[in-house]
Structure 1
């Protein structure tokens, strides 16, 4: 029984890592209805920028602050230069724009900072910590704490600040929000800046976990089941979806993998996502779209 609990807890904590990436998607989609496929490239860019500054002898906290400024500026520039001219276009047009943007960001990062693999050290020792009868990764505990702080902070921001309430109004009905004087472009800059900060946190934790390399952008593929299960418009749903995916992957790998004769963690999350699409297309916490025909 203790082995089952240890596997479950390890999977839940690993799922938080996927949630950190999914939160960036939720922020943009919640405010503008755009599925930002370039979020994975922003995660890579954040990790690569930070580790490059560290390798040049810059202090840990100063490198983090400089990377934050760069990521926020990059996110705002993406909104201003690429997406704002496309306001009013179809969803597929916006999606293709972010898809192309992801390759531009990756190529630019490779030109400026190189394509070699970097080791990122945040000073977090990844050793098992004994909690009762089970062992838990210390790194996973730190990642879970970071995700918890982000969720609480973003929830307070969206629910209790004037800017957050205005963003929710824009998400519900952009035209109505504009008609009552809400400045759409200013708020989009804010939410893209926050998404840049989220990409920084996710990039640092993922880079420390598996090294800073260009395959880091593929983490977005694992964030997709998280979004489908939790819902594209819910920050809390991103966390719950990540927990379900993480726990499902870990348990399936241990108990189904030997029966099926191979690794199942590469596809089990997508099987879960398909199941949720059949039962709850909007996800557990997503808002169902009601359109007049």
Structure 2
């Protein structure tokens, strides 16, 4: 029972970080129908940005986090304006290939600036272990769960209560109707990319606190794809549920079975979901009649 509780806390803590990155993926897909293969590398870039802000510049935590979020938002807008906007009207595959190229560019920039060696920075999450009943759990992962859920709840309110959020939902439903109502689609696309980059950066900040600053964070970011496929490509709620499920399955498989199964279980889930329910748990089922 103690091991089960420990694995559950660790799985949910990691799963909520997956959900933060997956929400950015969903935002871009809902706004523009583009599958962003660079989302995991935006997570990586956010991890190194916070390291740069705190260690190399020496900023306080609050200022460093704010700077990381602002730079991430700027990168998202710059990518949308300079790379993706000229491709509006082109086949979707062109935009998808651009995001694959962007993934390689971001990873190369990180290696060129910071190198491959792992780094550390002062943690803002509590360190050490706490007792839950008779079980000992990691304090940082325990705190990461409500923190990530609060951020995800804030995003949900953004989509329901703000003009920009409502505009994104309108474009996701019908771009032509949204355009006829005076909604600026390019502006909404830029906002979507900025939000996606910021959510990935926040996930990277939390992940850097837990596992350290390392290029392997990009590999962890690859879990975004099983998460969004499981939850549904166009569902923010699905990203949260999918992140929790994938995180739990990883740690249960690693804790009870081992033999590296935790590394492949997300992709086994991805294949099964694509075969059984390709639109995910909460995705919109599209039926084409010919």
TM-score category by the smaller chain? over 0.9
Q: Contact 1:151–1:236 (CA<8 Å) still a contact in 2?
A: no
Q: How does 1:120-131 map to 2 (within 5 A)?
A: 120-131=121-132
Q: Contact 2:31–2:189 (CA<8 Å) still a contact in 1?
A: yes
- Is 1:285 equivalent to 2:286 in the alignment? no
Aligned partner of 2:33 in structure 1 is: 33
The alpha-carbon deviation at position 253 of structure 1 amounts to 2.5
SS of 1:251 mapped into structure 2: helix
Structure 1's unaligned 5+ residue stretches are none
Question: Could you say what the CA RMSD is over the residues aligned between the two structures, in angstroms?
Answer: 1.9
Q: Contact 2:230–2:242 (CA<8 Å) still a contact in 1?
A: yes
CA distance in 1, matches of 2:269, 2:116: 34
The alpha-carbon deviation at position 244 of structure 1 amounts to 1.0
Aligned partner of 1:143 in structure 2 is: 144
TM-score (structure 1 length as normaliser): 0.91
Q: How does 1:202-281 map to 2 (within 5 A)?
A: 202-257=203-258, 262-281=259-278
Structure 2's unaligned 5+ residue stretches are none
Deviation by residue 1:222-260 (Cα, 9 ceiling, x = unmatched): 121111111111111111111111221222233333xxx
With 184-193 and 109-118 compared, the bigger mean Cα shift is at 109-118
Q: Contact 2:37–2:100 (CA<8 Å) still a contact in 1?
A: yes
Aligned partner of 1:3 in structure 2 is: 3
CA distance in 2, matches of 1:170, 1:46: 28
SS of 2:263 mapped into structure 1: coil
The alpha-carbon deviation at position 115 of structure 1 amounts to 4.0
SS of 1:126 mapped into structure 2: coil
Q: Contact 1:52–1:113 (CA<8 Å) still a contact in 2?
A: no
CA distance in 2, matches of 1:269, 1:108: 28
TM-score (structure 2 length as normaliser): 0.92
SS of 1:214 mapped into structure 2: coil
